[in-house]
Structure 1
Amino acid sequence: MAAIQQQKIRIRLKAFDRRLLDTSCDKIVETANRTDATAIGPIPLPTKRKIYCVLRSPHVNKDSREHFETRTHRRLIDIYQPSSKTIDALMKLDLPAGVDIEVKL
């Protein structure tokens, strides 16, 4: 017996601003549910922290340093059984510029 292959769209979202990311996830899930597809998520993935250490003084005083960090928040959304209507609605969806989107079929 051959297994029935299930269609799936996997969407990964990244952003520095958590609130912007959550509103984008809500828009995607609401659009998928409106077009009769099953949306699983948003699943929170681990937040990546990048810390930069910079000397405060341009000349001496190596002991005086300043730390800066960037946090990249990530979310995962799986959409099962997407129709062509679902894909068209997702393509027309207007999301903010601060959110990075990666789509895999």
Structure 2
Amino acid sequence: PERVPSQYDHVVCNLHFRSFEPSVMDFYVDFARRAAAAFRIPCSGMAYLPTKTQRWTVPRSPFVHKKSQENFERKHHKRVIQLKDANPEVVGRLLTYLRRTCPAGVGIKATTWEHESLG
């Protein structure tokens, strides 16, 4: 995507993406970066956060066959991008747009900061 240069490098929002399906999430993170470029918001590249693996074992039979068990696992994939040097109103509109266009199975969590002058 087109890169919008960052002037002051002040982080105004962290966008965390979470999904069980990494290909859908990577596609949507790329879409979010392109949407931020369309809104003229500088953003960082995609950062890969640790994948959390959850495993459990259950018996195949509800009766006495303890030796016959089945294993299952679920992986939570996570990504993050940072939005920089933007007006809070524009960031709010971008977040509204991203939440409206979010595909099924992808979760978004946004942490925003506002910079104010002292005094």
**Structure-2-length-normalised TM-score:** 0.77
Residue matched to 2:27 = 23
Task: Give the superposition deviation at 1:68.
Answer: 0.6
CA distance in 2, matches of 1:80, 1:26: 17
More strand by share: 1
Is there any run of 5+ residues in structure 1 with no aligned partner, and where? none
Q: Which residue pairs with 1:56 in the alignment? A: 60
Q: Unaligned stretches of 5+ in structure 2? A: 1-7, 113-119
The answer to which of 37-46 and 85-94 deviates more is 85-94
Alignment partner of 1:98 is 2:105: yes
Higher relative contact order (CA 8 A, sep 6+): 1
After TM superposition, give the deviation of residue 85 of structure 1 in Å: 3.3
Q: Is the deviation greater in 60-69 or in 77-86?
A: 77-86
For the aligned residue pairs, the C-alpha RMSD in angstroms reads: 1.8
State the partner residue of 1:38: 42
TM normalised by structure 1 equals 0.86
Structure 1: 4+ residue segments shifted above 6 A: none
Closer/same/farther in 2, CA of residues 36 and 9 from structure 1, 3 Å limit: same
Q: Among the aligned pairs, what percent are the same residue?
A: 28
* Paired AA for residue 64 in structure 1: S
Tell me the SS of whatever aligns to 1:31.
helix
